[in-house]
Structure 1
Amino acid sequence: MSAWVEGRIERVEVATPRLKRFFLTAPLPRHVAGQHVDVRLTAEDGYEARRSYSIASAPGAPEIELLIEKLDDGEVSPFFHDIALSGDTIELRGPLGGHFVWRPADGGPLLLVAGGSGVVPLMAMVRDWAGSTHSTHAMPLMLVYSARTAAELAFAGELRALEAAAPLFTWVAVTTRESPVRATDRGRRLDSAAVRAVLADWGHAPAHVFVCGSNRFVEAVAGGLLDAAVPAHLIRTERYGGA
């Protein structure tokens, strides 16, 4: 296991009403898209709380970007949302995780499906793809990103800009509690029929599939992918919990 190091919060930005972006610097090795770091908070009485947070930044970026959702009954996320400020230091270790990762050399087509804050490790993959020659050559990437409303879609501006600049990038926003904003978006949950429809519209057979979200979301999407005849060995999943 890697050692704990001290990281510094360089800046904090509001991403959505319940998500904040934290940009940190820390003496950690270069990560692979899809990996995470562990965070450790220690109280004055010695009590420790540890949580894992996926990295949103592209490999090699000068800062480590974390996207943290505030959970009212959480133990660590309220600290980040209500107390942590630029200039504060926290303990980190990592990068960790070797299964839910993608490298440009792995190729594609690449299909990414995110529910809520599950977009974070997939955003690292999108950014890694965008910084490689794949974005201008023959490797399509589609991100299907589900949230309750459009206001809860983090990185929306960046995704719109990338879609305009990279013809091989497709972004489908799925809003479960309001009507879709664009004709290419969807306003229903990603059940089996919706997954099949999205794949049919895309028109590519994925070589790698990554699904990240809540247990219920991952089960529904993975089932839909299997119903759409996507081979099980191509599908990798990651589930998030409370923090």
Structure 2
Amino acid sequence: MHGWRRARLTERTKQTATGRTLRFEVPRWPGHLPGQHVDVRLTADDGYRAVRSYSLAAPADADVIELGVQAAFGGEVSPYLADDLPVGAEVEVEGPLGGWFVWTPQDPGPLLLIAGGSGIVPLMAMLRARLASESDDPCALLYSVRDPDEVWYAAELDAARDTDGTVGVRRLYTRTAPDGSARPPGRMTERDLPSLPSPAEARCYVCGPTGFVEHAGALLLAAGHAPDRIRTERFG
């Protein structure tokens, strides 16, 4: 039984114009698996409460958790967390939650991560865990965003691509591509899927808006990936 725990905001990092990484200190945090999430509860002075779910962006690290928050226009909770919650202030969290959309370094075989927009957040926890492991199984991240300004973890993704020969990171732009990009802007196609040994054995994780997830799932099936090895999580 998890129950609610006090969580103190210790750091806020800007990722995009509306995306933030928030780090909280949570005493006696029990740990979590890459891909899990937490519920965050805010309580107003008049007693009104609001609860929202947010993905954990990093593997377990003692009593520290990292969340990714995309501020939704007109939202009740996400804009406040993204920009207004003071560093040092407390909220309540419950978790970790979810046991299906998870990956650990103990899961063998090729790993394929496909993210759309802020759907990169739980997949970043998986990628960080993979980079910290001693695995030499191939790993690929395919990251689809509208334009370069919407990329989360840009510098870290570049470093991941450069420092481990078994890890591949590729960005796809759907509206505006940077100068010199070999791929014109557009929706992801089967040609964009990375080549991994034994596609039927690859573990595939897809996260993003519902339309993106459904499209990516259909591409994976058409490319021969096993349905029981494709796991998806939808935002919105």
Bin for the TM-score computed over the shorter chain: over 0.9
Could you state the TM-score of these two structures normalised by the residue count of structure 2? 0.93
Counterparts of 2:196 and 2:52, CA distance in 1: 38
Q: 2:109 matched to 1:108?
A: yes
Pick the aligned partner of 1:219 from 210, 214, 217. Answer: 214
Aligned length: 233
User: For 1:114, what is the secondary structure of its paired residue?
Assistant: strand
1:203-225 Cα deviation digits (max 9, x unpaired): 43252000001110111100111
Q: Aligned to 1:142, which of 140, 152, 156?
A: 140
Kindly indicate whether the alpha-carbon contact (under 8 Å) linking 1:53 and 1:66 is maintained by their aligned counterparts in 2. Answer: yes
**1:237 pairs with one of 224, 232, 235:** 232
> Are residues 1:66 and 2:59 paired?
no
Mean alpha-carbon deviation: is it higher for 149-158 or for 76-85? 76-85
Equivalent-residue separation in structure 2 for 1:182 and 1:238 (angstroms): 32
Q: Aligned-pair distance for 1:147?
A: 0.9
Decide whether the 8 Å contact of 1:173 with 1:180 is kept in 2. Answer: no
Closer, same or farther in 2 for the Cα pair 1:123/1:182, shift >3 Å? farther
> What is aligned with 1:98?
99
Amino acid paired to 1:198? D
Taking a change above 3 Å as real, the CA distance of residues 104 and 25 of structure 1, as seen in their structure-2 partners, is same
Q: Distance in 1 between matches of 2:184 and 2:120?
A: 17
Aligned to 2:90: 89
Residue of structure 1 equivalent to 2:192? 198
Question: What letter is aligned with 2:217?
Answer: A
Name the residue aligned to 2:169.
171
C-alpha separation in 1, matches of 2:184 and 2:103? 26
Could you tell me which runs of 5 or more consecutive residues in structure 1 were left unpaired when the two chains were aligned.
none
CA distance in 2, matches of 1:69, 1:21: 9
CA contact (8 A) 1:174 1:180 kept: no
Q: C-alpha deviations, 1:82-140, integer Å up to 9, x for none?
A: 32121111101111100000011112200000011110000000000000001xx2x11
Other-structure match for 1:52: 53
Identity percentage over the alignment?
42
Give the equivalent residue in structure 2 for 1:14. 14
Contact 2:57 2:124 (8 Å CA) reproduced: yes
Q: Is the 8 A contact 1:172 1:185 kept in 2?
A: no
Partner SS state of residue 7, structure 1: strand
1:78 matched to which residue of 2?
A: 79
5 Å-filtered alignment, 1:111-130, equals: 111-130=112-131
| Residues 148 and 177, structure 2, Cα contact 8 Å, conserved in 1 | no
Find out whether 1:210 has 2:208 as its counterpart.
no
RMSD: 1.6
SS in 2 for 1:73: coil
Contact 2:110/2:196 (<8 A) preserved:
no
Give 1:57's aligned amino acid.
A
Question: Which residue type is aligned with residue 192 of structure 2?
Answer: V
**Counterpart in 2 of 1:156?**
154
C-alpha deviation, 1:81, in angstroms: 2.6
AA of the residue aligned to 2:5: V
Q: Which residue type is aligned with residue 127 of structure 2?
A: V
2-structure distance, mates of 1:182, 1:226:
31
Shift of 1:7: 0.5
**Where in structure 1 do 4 or more consecutive aligned residues deviate above 6 Å?**
none
- Contact 2:26-2:63 within 8 A present in 1 as well: no
Q: Please say if residues 174 and 187 of structure 1, whose CA atoms lie closer than 8 Å, have aligned partners that are also in contact.
A: yes
Q: Distance in 2 between matches of 1:160 and 1:110?
A: 18
- What is the CA-CA distance between 1:42 and the residue it aligns to? 1.0
